[in-house]
Structure 1
């Protein structure tokens, strides 16, 4: 069981590296063809479009694993972001300001690929930063 846990954790770290490198041609090595994201079946093509859109909206996007736990077939992760969205993000007016926030994500793996994702971004942390931030000139 320990080997299976460490194997799944390593696959996950490789997946995060794939995202950070924006190596879209190999995304299918980590994500199932019929992946479900927050209850919606979006498939591999939809998943790829989602992360490509994230990088287009946030050019300096980088996924930083802060916590990682594996209990096959599940992985839980707390990801940290320190980035500068170009404009609006999650319905919030960012206007190029730098924000930091966490995303708590649970993944279910099937056949050593991500089959289901449950994701929650700490929007309240972003809102708090925007309230205290000095407006851009």
Structure 2
């Protein structure tokens, strides 16, 4: 029981540190190192990625919108799973999720489940409100 409580608090702490790393990353100035939080191989929405591929996909978003920020709205930890709803806010300066920038600040929700194996995340299931992104950036 004590080990399970430790892992639950550790999963939450690891997840919060991961979000902090994303929010404090300086776009265009450095690489993104998520090795403290993620396994070297990840399953993301049922597809396998290396950690490097996952980091590259996040960097593409963050570099397209240098003010990229995640605000946690809900966080639940149960067993090896961290469930969250967060709000992403940013002002895209380059193509973002397939849409051209329009100079406006956007916000959209993500619902994400992170599954941990040991002390690091090994699986991510994400649902992004792409309709909100599309309605704010427009579909030309």
TMscore range, shorter length: 0.7 to 0.9
SS at match of 1:103: strand
C-alpha distance in 2 between matches for 1:55 and 1:6: 28
Whether the 8 Å contact between 1:88 and 1:95 is mirrored in structure 2 is no
CA apart distance, 1:2: 4.4
What is the RMSD of the two structures over their aligned residues, measured on CA atoms? 2.0
Q: Secondary structure at the match of 2:22?
A: helix
**Aligned match of 2:119:** 112
Report the counterpart of residue 18 of structure 2 in structure 1. Answer: 15
For residue 83 of structure 1, the aligned residue among 65, 83, 90 is 90
Tell me which of 66, 73, 79 is aligned to 1:66: 73
Q: TM-score, normalised by structure 2?
A: 0.82
SS of the equivalent of 1:88 reads coil
- Which structure has the highest helix share of the two? 1
Query: Where does residue 100 of structure 1 map in the other structure?
Result: 107
Q: For the Cα contact (< 8 Å) 1:87–1:95, is it kept in 2?
A: no
Change (3 A) 1:97 1:114: same
Match of 1:31 among 30, 34, 38: 38
Give the deviation of 1:83 after TM superposition.
Answer: 1.1
Consecutive unaligned residues in structure 1, runs of 5 or more: 132-137
Q: Secondary structure at the residue paired with 1:89?
A: coil
Aligned-partner Cα distance in 1 for 2:37–2:137: 35
Q: Please identify, of 12-21 and 118-127, the stretch whose mean Cα deviation from structure 2 is larger.
A: 118-127
Question: Normalising to structure 1: TM-score of the pair?
Answer: 0.84
The separation in 1 between residues aligned to 2:32 and 2:60, in whole angstroms, is 16
For structure 2, which runs of at least 5 residues remain unmatched after alignment? none
* Post-superposition offset of 1:130: 4.6
